[in-house]
Amino acid sequence: MGSHVHDQPKLTKNQALVLDALAAAEGPLSAYMILDQLREQGFRAPLQVYRALEKLMTIGIVHRLESLNAFVACRRPDCDNHEMIAFAICDDCGQVDEVSDEALAKRLKTIAKDADFGLQRSTVELHGLCRNCQRAAN
């Protein structure tokens, strides 16, 4: 069991299993990849995974990467306090880093306010090459 489970005692068994699968993963996982990993624990239908993911995202301990249609466990213990989350996604090796930038968060709030839009949260996805893949390319 991952450390996240102990931080969130209200999780159901399915939610805890999905969170542990994501926490142990090297990179983002699709719902079907999670389903394949958890078949032995009694998961039979994608809906079971999606329900667990939905709750984990609502709590703020799992994030969806829209561009990859995949999910990652939050790597930042204070993440649920952030209205803006950014991810640096390597298009070569698939590494995903969760990054925080208060200046960007403030700018996005200003853009939303200027558009008379009530911003609740935003996710920014940066695609490119991580440090290791940049070195390998040179």
C-alpha span between 112 and 63 (Å, rounded): 21
- Here the contacts of 13-22 (C-beta below 8 Å, separation 24 or greater) are 14/43, 14/48, 14/51, 14/52, 15/52, 15/55, 15/56, 17/41, 17/43, 17/52, 18/49, 18/52, 18/53, 18/56, 18/62, 19/52, 19/56, 19/61, 19/62, 19/73, 22/62, 22/71, 22/72, 22/73
Does pTM surpass 0.85? no
Backbone angles phi, psi at 17, to 5 degrees: -65, -45
Give the separation between CA 46 and CA 33, rounded to whole angstroms: 10
The closest alpha carbon to 24, from 40, 41, 7, 4, belongs to: 4
- The pLDDT of residue 79: 61
> What is the reported pLDDT for 4?
45
2-21 pLDDT, tens digit per residue, is: 444 445 558 999 999 999 99
Please tell me the predicted confidence (pLDDT) of residue 75.
77
**Tell me: the pLDDT tens digits for 23-34?**
999 889 999 999
pLDDT tens-place string over residues 74-127: 877 666 556 678 999 999 999 999 888 888 888 999 999 999 999 888 889 999
Ordered by where they begin, the domains of the chain are 3-73 (1.10.10.10), 82-137 (3.30.1490.190)
pLDDT for the residue numbered 78: 60
Whether the per-residue pLDDT at 129 is higher than 90: the answer is yes
Encode pLDDT of 32-89 as tens digits: 999 999 999 999 999 999 999 999 998 889 999 999 999 999 877 666 556 678 999 9
How far apart CA 3 and CA 56 sit, in angstroms, is 14
| Lookup: tokens for 40 | 């032995």
